[in-house]
């Protein structure tokens, strides 16, 4: 079984994929095809999806019994001791190796204003 999810893809690509897959929802294709057809369909998706994103999930002979292929997506498959997991790719606004603070900007602003209020009036006020 193969599940293919497309986002922002050309209409022609969707029409091309309906030869082998059933479109169960806009941009979501499901089908049972051979490995050769699956690889050819993936090559076609990569070729024709200009600015679009795609994820293909298919059955394999592994411990999880699943494998992933990703094209221009914010998630990437990562092999962790033989088990594939999906990890969010690094974005430019976050420095590598440094975890995010965990607090939103609004929350930090609110905490800073509470701290100022608890200190009392400053000399300039």
Q: Structural domain tally of the chain?
A: 1
Task: Note whether 80 and 56 are within 8 A (CB).
Answer: no
Q: What is the CATH number of the domain that holds 83?
A: 3.30.70.240
In a domain, 62, yes or no: yes
In a domain, 125, yes or no: no
Distance CA 36, CA 34 (A): 5
Domain assignment of residue 33, given as a range: 2-118
In a domain, 123, yes or no: no
Per-residue pLDDT of the chain (125 residues; tens, 9 = 90+): 999 999 988 888 888 899 999 999 999 999 999 999 999 999 999 999 888 899 999 998 878 888 889 998 888 888 888 788 888 876 655 555 555 566 788 888 888 888 887 776 656 55
SS3 state at 56: strand
pTM summary value: 0.65
Distance CA 78, CA 117 (A): 47
Task: Note whether 53 and 7 are within 8 A (CB).
Answer: yes
């Amino acid at each position: 079984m193969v599940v293919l999810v497309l986002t922002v893809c050309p209409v022609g690509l969707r029409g091309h994929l309906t030869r082998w897959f059933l479109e169960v929802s806009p941009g979501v294709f499901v089908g049972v095809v051979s490995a050769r057809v699956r690889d050819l369909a993936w090559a076609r998706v990569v070729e024709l999806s200009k600015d679009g994103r795609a994820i293909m999930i298919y059955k394999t002979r592994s411990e999880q019994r699943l494998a992933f292929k990703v094209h221009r997506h914010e998630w990437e498959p990562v092999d962790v001791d033989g088990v594939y997991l999906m990890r969010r790719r690094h974005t430019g606004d976050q420095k590598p190796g440094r975890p995010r603070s965990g607090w939103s900007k609004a929350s930090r602003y609110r905490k800073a204003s509470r701290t100022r209020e608890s200190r009392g009036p400053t000399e300039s006020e």
